[in-house]
Amino acid sequence: MPTLMPKSIATRAVLCAMLLWAASLTFGQAQGDVDGDGSVTHYDAIALKEHLLEKKLLVGTALTRADGDGDGKVRMADLAWINNHAYRAQENTINLPGNIPLVMVRIPAGSFSMGSPNTERSRYSYEGPVHTVTINSAFSMGRCELTQKQWLALMGSWPGPPPSSTYGAGDNYPAYYVSWNDAQNFITALNTHVTSTGQGPATYRLPSEAEWEYACRAGTQTRFFFGDSLSVDDNRTDGPAGALPGNRSDYMWFGYNNDPNGTKQVGTKWPNQFGLYDMSGNVAEWCQDWWHVDYTGAPTNGSAWEIPNGSTGGNRVMRSGLWGYEAYYGRSANRGCRNPAGGGFVVGFRLSRTE
Protein backbone atom coordinates (compact mmCIF):
# COMPACT_ATOMS: atom_id res chain seq x y z
CA MET A 1 0.00 0.00 0.00
CA PRO A 2 1.45 3.43 -0.89
CA THR A 3 2.34 5.78 1.93
CA LEU A 4 -0.17 8.59 2.41
CA MET A 5 1.43 11.99 1.86
CA PRO A 6 0.66 15.16 3.88
CA LYS A 7 -2.33 17.06 2.58
CA SER A 8 -1.34 19.45 -0.19
CA ILE A 9 -1.66 23.21 -0.02
CA ALA A 10 -4.66 22.92 -2.33
CA THR A 11 -6.41 20.45 -0.07
CA ARG A 12 -5.77 22.56 3.02
CA ALA A 13 -7.29 25.56 1.25
CA VAL A 14 -10.38 23.59 0.31
CA LEU A 15 -10.75 22.13 3.80
CA CYS A 16 -10.38 25.58 5.39
CA ALA A 17 -13.15 26.87 3.15
CA MET A 18 -15.30 23.90 4.14
CA LEU A 19 -14.66 24.49 7.84
CA LEU A 20 -15.45 28.18 7.66
CA TRP A 21 -18.65 27.48 5.78
CA ALA A 22 -19.68 24.62 8.05
CA ALA A 23 -19.17 26.75 11.16
CA SER A 24 -21.83 29.16 9.93
CA LEU A 25 -24.59 26.56 9.60
CA THR A 26 -27.82 27.34 11.39
CA PHE A 27 -27.83 24.03 13.24
CA GLY A 28 -24.19 24.19 14.24
CA GLN A 29 -21.14 22.38 12.94
CA ALA A 30 -22.20 18.91 14.12
CA GLN A 31 -25.51 18.82 12.24
CA GLY A 32 -25.14 16.75 9.08
CA ASP A 33 -21.43 16.12 9.65
CA VAL A 34 -21.89 12.35 9.70
CA ASP A 35 -18.22 11.40 9.44
CA GLY A 36 -17.17 14.01 12.02
CA ASP A 37 -14.45 15.63 9.91
CA GLY A 38 -15.64 19.15 10.71
CA SER A 39 -17.49 19.87 7.46
CA VAL A 40 -20.69 18.86 5.67
CA THR A 41 -19.92 17.35 2.28
CA HIS A 42 -21.37 14.87 -0.17
CA TYR A 43 -19.40 12.15 1.63
CA ASP A 44 -21.70 12.63 4.60
CA ALA A 45 -24.61 12.03 2.24
CA ILE A 46 -22.99 8.80 1.07
CA ALA A 47 -22.56 7.57 4.64
CA LEU A 48 -26.19 8.38 5.48
CA LYS A 49 -27.41 6.74 2.27
CA GLU A 50 -25.59 3.52 3.24
CA HIS A 51 -27.24 3.68 6.65
CA LEU A 52 -30.72 4.15 5.19
CA LEU A 53 -30.13 1.23 2.82
CA GLU A 54 -28.88 -0.84 5.78
CA LYS A 55 -25.52 -1.44 4.12
CA LYS A 56 -23.46 0.08 6.93
CA LEU A 57 -25.38 1.22 10.00
CA LEU A 58 -24.43 4.41 11.84
CA VAL A 59 -24.18 4.30 15.63
CA GLY A 60 -23.41 6.65 18.51
CA THR A 61 -22.41 10.23 17.70
CA ALA A 62 -22.36 9.51 13.95
CA LEU A 63 -26.06 8.63 14.13
CA THR A 64 -26.75 11.79 16.14
CA ARG A 65 -24.88 13.96 13.63
CA ALA A 66 -26.84 12.35 10.77
CA ASP A 67 -29.99 14.11 12.02
CA GLY A 68 -29.34 17.10 9.79
CA ASP A 69 -32.72 18.76 10.15
CA GLY A 70 -32.67 18.37 13.94
CA ASP A 71 -36.07 16.75 14.33
CA GLY A 72 -34.81 13.82 16.40
CA LYS A 73 -35.20 11.27 13.59
CA VAL A 74 -32.77 9.96 10.97
CA ARG A 75 -34.54 9.45 7.66
CA MET A 76 -34.64 10.46 3.98
CA ALA A 77 -35.39 14.07 4.91
CA ASP A 78 -31.94 14.26 6.52
CA LEU A 79 -30.33 13.04 3.30
CA ALA A 80 -32.05 15.88 1.43
CA TRP A 81 -30.93 18.32 4.15
CA ILE A 82 -27.30 17.26 3.85
CA ASN A 83 -27.37 17.48 0.05
CA ASN A 84 -28.82 20.99 0.27
CA HIS A 85 -26.29 22.18 2.87
CA ALA A 86 -23.14 20.44 1.67
CA TYR A 87 -20.05 22.34 0.67
CA ARG A 88 -20.04 23.24 -3.04
CA ALA A 89 -16.97 23.71 -5.16
CA GLN A 90 -16.43 27.17 -6.66
CA GLU A 91 -17.99 26.96 -10.11
CA ASN A 92 -18.36 29.30 -13.06
CA THR A 93 -20.60 28.84 -16.07
CA ILE A 94 -20.61 30.10 -19.63
CA ASN A 95 -23.37 29.61 -22.16
CA LEU A 96 -22.83 27.86 -25.47
CA PRO A 97 -25.11 28.67 -28.43
CA GLY A 98 -28.72 27.94 -27.52
CA ASN A 99 -27.97 28.87 -23.87
CA ILE A 100 -26.48 25.44 -23.23
CA PRO A 101 -24.44 25.75 -20.00
CA LEU A 102 -20.82 24.69 -19.68
CA VAL A 103 -19.81 24.47 -16.00
CA MET A 104 -16.19 24.82 -14.93
CA VAL A 105 -14.77 24.16 -11.45
CA ARG A 106 -11.98 26.25 -9.97
CA ILE A 107 -8.93 24.16 -9.03
CA PRO A 108 -6.63 25.84 -6.47
CA ALA A 109 -2.87 26.08 -6.88
CA GLY A 110 -0.69 23.58 -5.03
CA SER A 111 1.93 20.84 -5.18
CA PHE A 112 1.62 17.05 -5.45
CA SER A 113 3.56 13.87 -6.15
CA MET A 114 2.83 12.86 -9.75
CA GLY A 115 2.98 9.24 -10.85
CA SER A 116 2.90 5.96 -8.98
CA PRO A 117 5.56 4.42 -6.73
CA ASN A 118 7.02 1.00 -7.52
CA THR A 119 4.98 -0.42 -4.63
CA GLU A 120 1.59 0.56 -6.05
CA ARG A 121 -0.51 -2.43 -7.02
CA SER A 122 -1.35 -2.77 -10.73
CA ARG A 123 0.95 0.07 -11.79
CA TYR A 124 2.86 0.31 -15.07
CA SER A 125 6.49 1.37 -15.42
CA TYR A 126 5.53 4.38 -17.56
CA GLU A 127 3.80 5.91 -14.51
CA GLY A 128 7.17 6.84 -13.01
CA PRO A 129 9.42 8.09 -11.75
CA VAL A 130 7.33 9.83 -9.10
CA HIS A 131 8.18 13.53 -9.12
CA THR A 132 6.95 16.70 -7.43
CA VAL A 133 4.89 19.08 -9.55
CA THR A 134 4.05 22.58 -8.35
CA ILE A 135 1.15 24.39 -9.97
CA ASN A 136 1.53 28.04 -9.00
CA SER A 137 -1.75 29.41 -10.34
CA ALA A 138 -5.35 28.30 -9.99
CA PHE A 139 -7.09 27.06 -13.13
CA SER A 140 -10.49 25.67 -14.03
CA MET A 141 -11.58 22.27 -15.32
CA GLY A 142 -14.86 21.05 -16.70
CA ARG A 143 -17.10 19.72 -13.95
CA CYS A 144 -17.90 16.84 -16.30
CA GLU A 145 -16.63 15.38 -19.53
CA LEU A 146 -17.85 17.35 -22.54
CA THR A 147 -21.31 16.10 -23.47
CA GLN A 148 -22.89 15.34 -26.80
CA LYS A 149 -25.33 18.21 -26.35
CA GLN A 150 -22.49 20.66 -25.69
CA TRP A 151 -20.54 19.47 -28.74
CA LEU A 152 -23.52 19.87 -31.06
CA ALA A 153 -24.50 23.24 -29.57
CA LEU A 154 -21.18 24.71 -30.68
CA MET A 155 -20.12 22.60 -33.68
CA GLY A 156 -23.50 21.63 -35.17
CA SER A 157 -22.38 18.22 -36.45
CA TRP A 158 -19.99 15.38 -35.70
CA PRO A 159 -16.49 15.21 -37.18
CA GLY A 160 -16.85 11.48 -37.88
CA PRO A 161 -19.28 8.74 -36.87
CA PRO A 162 -22.05 10.08 -34.64
CA PRO A 163 -22.66 8.55 -31.22
CA SER A 164 -24.87 5.49 -31.36
CA SER A 165 -27.19 3.66 -29.00
CA THR A 166 -24.61 0.86 -28.99
CA TYR A 167 -22.14 2.98 -27.04
CA GLY A 168 -24.48 5.58 -25.52
CA ALA A 169 -26.36 8.40 -27.23
CA GLY A 170 -28.13 11.35 -25.64
CA ASP A 171 -27.73 14.93 -24.48
CA ASN A 172 -25.89 14.12 -21.25
CA TYR A 173 -23.71 11.31 -22.52
CA PRO A 174 -20.05 12.19 -23.12
CA ALA A 175 -18.98 13.12 -26.61
CA TYR A 176 -16.85 10.35 -28.17
CA TYR A 177 -15.47 9.39 -31.58
CA VAL A 178 -13.54 12.62 -31.03
CA SER A 179 -9.84 12.81 -31.89
CA TRP A 180 -7.27 15.09 -30.26
CA ASN A 181 -7.39 17.19 -33.42
CA ASP A 182 -11.19 17.37 -33.19
CA ALA A 183 -10.89 18.55 -29.59
CA GLN A 184 -8.55 21.33 -30.71
CA ASN A 185 -11.07 22.41 -33.35
CA PHE A 186 -13.77 22.55 -30.68
CA ILE A 187 -11.52 24.67 -28.44
CA THR A 188 -10.80 27.12 -31.27
CA ALA A 189 -14.53 27.50 -31.91
CA LEU A 190 -15.22 27.84 -28.18
CA ASN A 191 -12.68 30.61 -27.67
CA THR A 192 -14.10 32.47 -30.66
CA HIS A 193 -17.61 32.11 -29.21
CA VAL A 194 -16.51 33.27 -25.75
CA THR A 195 -14.84 36.37 -27.20
CA SER A 196 -17.71 37.28 -29.52
CA THR A 197 -20.29 36.97 -26.73
CA GLY A 198 -18.28 38.84 -24.10
CA GLN A 199 -18.11 35.92 -21.67
CA GLY A 200 -14.57 36.41 -20.49
CA PRO A 201 -11.05 35.68 -21.71
CA ALA A 202 -10.55 33.15 -24.49
CA THR A 203 -8.29 30.81 -22.54
CA TYR A 204 -10.02 27.44 -22.92
CA ARG A 205 -7.75 24.49 -23.74
CA LEU A 206 -7.07 20.86 -22.96
CA PRO A 207 -5.55 20.25 -19.53
CA SER A 208 -1.92 19.34 -19.25
CA GLU A 209 -1.30 15.81 -18.05
CA ALA A 210 0.02 17.18 -14.74
CA GLU A 211 -3.04 19.37 -14.25
CA TRP A 212 -5.29 16.41 -15.01
CA GLU A 213 -3.66 14.14 -12.41
CA TYR A 214 -3.52 16.94 -9.85
CA ALA A 215 -7.24 17.64 -10.34
CA CYS A 216 -8.07 13.93 -10.24
CA ARG A 217 -6.14 13.30 -7.02
CA ALA A 218 -7.67 16.38 -5.36
CA GLY A 219 -5.14 16.30 -2.52
CA THR A 220 -4.90 12.50 -2.20
CA GLN A 221 -2.00 10.14 -2.86
CA THR A 222 -4.00 6.91 -2.73
CA ARG A 223 -4.40 4.75 -5.84
CA PHE A 224 -7.83 6.19 -6.56
CA PHE A 225 -9.14 9.52 -5.30
CA PHE A 226 -11.58 7.50 -3.18
CA GLY A 227 -8.91 5.31 -1.56
CA ASP A 228 -6.54 2.42 -2.18
CA SER A 229 -9.38 -0.13 -2.54
CA LEU A 230 -7.10 -3.08 -1.83
CA SER A 231 -9.59 -5.48 -0.26
CA VAL A 232 -10.65 -6.82 -3.68
CA ASP A 233 -8.80 -7.48 -6.93
CA ASP A 234 -8.35 -4.84 -9.63
CA ASN A 235 -10.33 -6.53 -12.36
CA ARG A 236 -14.02 -5.98 -13.15
CA THR A 237 -14.78 -6.33 -9.48
CA ASP A 238 -16.64 -4.07 -7.08
CA GLY A 239 -15.56 -3.57 -3.50
CA PRO A 240 -15.01 -1.01 -0.74
CA ALA A 241 -13.63 2.33 -1.91
CA GLY A 242 -11.14 2.52 0.94
CA ALA A 243 -10.72 6.04 2.31
CA LEU A 244 -14.17 7.30 1.32
CA PRO A 245 -17.50 5.64 2.11
CA GLY A 246 -19.20 3.25 -0.24
CA ASN A 247 -17.80 1.10 -3.05
CA ARG A 248 -15.77 1.69 -6.18
CA SER A 249 -18.96 1.62 -8.19
CA ASP A 250 -20.25 4.66 -6.31
CA TYR A 251 -17.48 6.75 -7.90
CA MET A 252 -16.58 5.23 -11.27
CA TRP A 253 -17.95 3.56 -14.40
CA PHE A 254 -15.84 0.53 -15.32
CA GLY A 255 -16.16 -3.08 -16.41
CA TYR A 256 -18.14 -4.06 -13.33
CA ASN A 257 -21.09 -1.75 -13.94
CA ASN A 258 -21.12 -1.24 -17.72
CA ASP A 259 -24.32 -3.23 -18.31
CA PRO A 260 -25.78 -2.18 -20.67
CA ASN A 261 -22.51 -1.82 -22.50
CA GLY A 262 -21.32 1.68 -23.37
CA THR A 263 -20.76 5.15 -22.00
CA LYS A 264 -22.94 6.47 -19.21
CA GLN A 265 -24.50 9.87 -18.54
CA VAL A 266 -22.01 12.25 -16.99
CA GLY A 267 -22.25 13.38 -13.38
CA THR A 268 -24.23 10.41 -12.13
CA LYS A 269 -21.56 9.06 -9.77
CA TRP A 270 -20.14 10.79 -6.70
CA PRO A 271 -17.55 13.51 -7.47
CA ASN A 272 -14.02 13.74 -6.16
CA GLN A 273 -12.86 16.12 -3.42
CA PHE A 274 -12.58 19.03 -5.89
CA GLY A 275 -16.14 18.53 -7.14
CA LEU A 276 -15.19 16.92 -10.48
CA TYR A 277 -17.23 14.02 -11.85
CA ASP A 278 -16.12 10.93 -13.80
CA MET A 279 -12.41 11.46 -13.22
CA SER A 280 -12.14 7.70 -12.83
CA GLY A 281 -13.90 5.82 -15.61
CA ASN A 282 -16.52 6.48 -18.30
CA VAL A 283 -14.44 7.73 -21.28
CA ALA A 284 -10.72 8.28 -21.65
CA GLU A 285 -9.87 11.99 -21.82
CA TRP A 286 -7.38 13.76 -24.06
CA CYS A 287 -4.61 15.86 -22.53
CA GLN A 288 -2.48 18.45 -24.31
CA ASP A 289 0.84 16.58 -23.88
CA TRP A 290 2.83 14.44 -26.26
CA TRP A 291 3.31 10.90 -24.97
CA HIS A 292 6.62 9.85 -23.40
CA VAL A 293 7.46 6.41 -22.07
CA ASP A 294 8.19 7.77 -18.58
CA TYR A 295 8.52 11.07 -16.74
CA THR A 296 12.25 11.52 -17.15
CA GLY A 297 12.66 15.18 -18.10
CA ALA A 298 8.97 16.01 -17.65
CA PRO A 299 7.98 19.59 -16.70
CA THR A 300 7.58 20.15 -12.97
CA ASN A 301 5.51 23.36 -13.14
CA GLY A 302 2.26 21.80 -14.35
CA SER A 303 2.70 22.83 -17.98
CA ALA A 304 2.09 20.46 -20.88
CA TRP A 305 5.03 18.44 -22.22
CA GLU A 306 5.04 19.86 -25.74
CA ILE A 307 8.27 18.23 -26.94
CA PRO A 308 7.36 15.24 -29.14
CA ASN A 309 9.09 11.91 -28.57
CA GLY A 310 9.70 10.41 -31.99
CA SER A 311 10.24 6.92 -30.62
CA THR A 312 6.62 6.71 -29.45
CA GLY A 313 5.04 7.38 -32.83
CA GLY A 314 3.79 10.89 -32.17
CA ASN A 315 0.96 9.99 -29.81
CA ARG A 316 -0.89 12.29 -27.42
CA VAL A 317 -1.70 11.49 -23.79
CA MET A 318 -5.07 10.17 -22.60
CA ARG A 319 -6.18 9.93 -18.96
CA SER A 320 -9.02 8.44 -16.87
CA GLY A 321 -10.36 4.89 -16.86
CA LEU A 322 -12.68 3.35 -19.44
CA TRP A 323 -16.29 2.25 -19.13
CA GLY A 324 -15.65 -1.36 -20.15
CA TYR A 325 -12.20 -1.94 -18.68
CA GLU A 326 -10.77 -3.28 -15.43
CA ALA A 327 -10.77 -1.19 -12.26
CA TYR A 328 -7.02 -0.55 -12.29
CA TYR A 329 -7.36 1.64 -15.38
CA GLY A 330 -9.20 4.13 -13.16
CA ARG A 331 -6.24 4.70 -10.83
CA SER A 332 -5.20 8.35 -10.58
CA ALA A 333 -1.72 7.66 -12.03
CA ASN A 334 -2.87 5.51 -14.95
CA ARG A 335 -2.05 6.93 -18.38
CA GLY A 336 -2.35 5.95 -22.00
CA CYS A 337 -1.94 7.39 -25.47
CA ARG A 338 -3.32 7.43 -28.99
CA ASN A 339 -2.56 9.03 -32.34
CA PRO A 340 -3.96 12.59 -32.31
CA ALA A 341 -5.89 11.91 -35.50
CA GLY A 342 -7.65 8.90 -33.97
CA GLY A 343 -10.75 8.83 -31.83
CA GLY A 344 -12.85 5.87 -30.87
CA PHE A 345 -15.93 4.92 -28.88
CA VAL A 346 -14.01 5.12 -25.59
CA VAL A 347 -12.35 8.52 -26.11
CA GLY A 348 -13.67 11.97 -25.19
CA PHE A 349 -12.28 15.03 -23.42
CA ARG A 350 -12.70 17.56 -20.64
CA LEU A 351 -11.91 21.23 -20.94
CA SER A 352 -9.50 23.30 -18.92
CA ARG A 353 -9.14 27.07 -18.69
CA THR A 354 -6.33 29.40 -17.65
CA GLU A 355 -7.53 31.98 -15.13
In a shared domain, residues 240 and 262:
yes
Q: How far apart are CA 353 and CA 205, in angstroms?
A: 6
Q: Is 238 helix (H, G, I), strand (E, B) or coil?
A: coil
146 and 267 inside one domain: yes
79-107 pLDDT, tens per residue?
888 888 877 789 999 999 999 999 999 99
Residue 284 pLDDT > 70, yes or no? yes
Examine the fold and report which residue of 45, 70, 85 is the final residue of a domain before the chain moves on: 85
Highest mean pLDDT among 5-14, 50-59, 337-346: 337-346
- Please give the radius of gyration of the chain, using alpha carbons only, rounded to the nearest integer: 20
The string of DSSP codes covering 290-341 is EP-SS-TT--SSS----S--GGGTS-EEEES--TTS-GGGGSTT--EEE-TT
Same domain, 70 and 104: no
Asked if residue 34 is part of any domain, the answer here is: yes
Q: Measure the CA–CA gap between 180 and 159, rounded to whole angstroms.
A: 12
CATH number at residue 264: 3.90.1580.10
The pLDDT mean for the chain works out to 89
Which DSSP category does 150 fall into? H
In a domain, 274, yes or no: yes
3-state secondary structure of 78: helix
Q: Which of 85, 105, 121 is the last residue of a domain?
A: 85
Do 252 and 290 have their domain in common?
yes
Contact 241, 227 (CB under 8 A): yes
What is the model's pLDDT at position 312? 63
Q: Is the pLDDT of residue 310 over 80?
A: no
**77 located within any domain:** yes
Q: What is the pLDDT, as a whole number, of residue 23?
A: 37
Q: Are residues 64 and 109 in the same domain?
A: no
Judgement on whether residues 114 and 53 belong to the same structural domain of the protein: no
Assigned domain for 208 exists? yes
List of residues 6+ apart from 320 with CB closer than 8 A: 216, 278, 279, 280, 281, 282, 283, 284, 285, 330
Q: Is 261 exposed, middle or buried (0-12, 13-18, 19+ CB in 10 A)?
A: exposed
Does any domain span residue 3? no
Does residue 4 lie in a domain region?
A: no
Answer for the pair 261, 279: CB distance below 8 angstroms, yes or no.
Answer: no
For the chain, the domain total comes to: 2
Residues 6+ apart with CB under 8 A from 270: 42, 43, 46, 226, 244, 246, 250, 251
Give the whole-angstrom CA distance, residue 122 versus residue 9: 28
Q: Return the higher-pLDDT residue of 129 and 308.
A: 129
Three-state DSSP at 192 gives helix
2 part of a folded domain: no
Tell whether 43 is covered by a domain.
yes
Highest mean pLDDT, choosing among 17-26, 57-66, 277-286: 277-286
Q: 332 and 291 share a domain?
A: yes
Does 102 share its domain with 186? yes
The predicted pLDDT at position 245 comes to 87
Choosing from 65, 85, 105, the residue where a domain stops is 85
pLDDT for residue 4 is more than 50:
no
- Find the domain containing 22 and state its range: 9-85
Q: Are 76 and 122 part of one and the same domain?
A: no
pLDDT digits (tens, 9 = 90+) for 179-221: 999 999 999 999 999 999 999 999 999 999 999 999 999 999 9
Same domain, 52 and 67: yes
Tell me the whole-structure pTM to 2 decimals: 0.85
Residues 191 and 312 in one domain: yes
Assign residue 24 the CATH number of its domain: 1.10.1330.10
- Tell me which amino acid residue 92 is: N
The whole-number pLDDT of residue 14 equals 43
Higher per-residue pLDDT: 44 or 303: 303
Does one domain contain both 21 and 47? yes
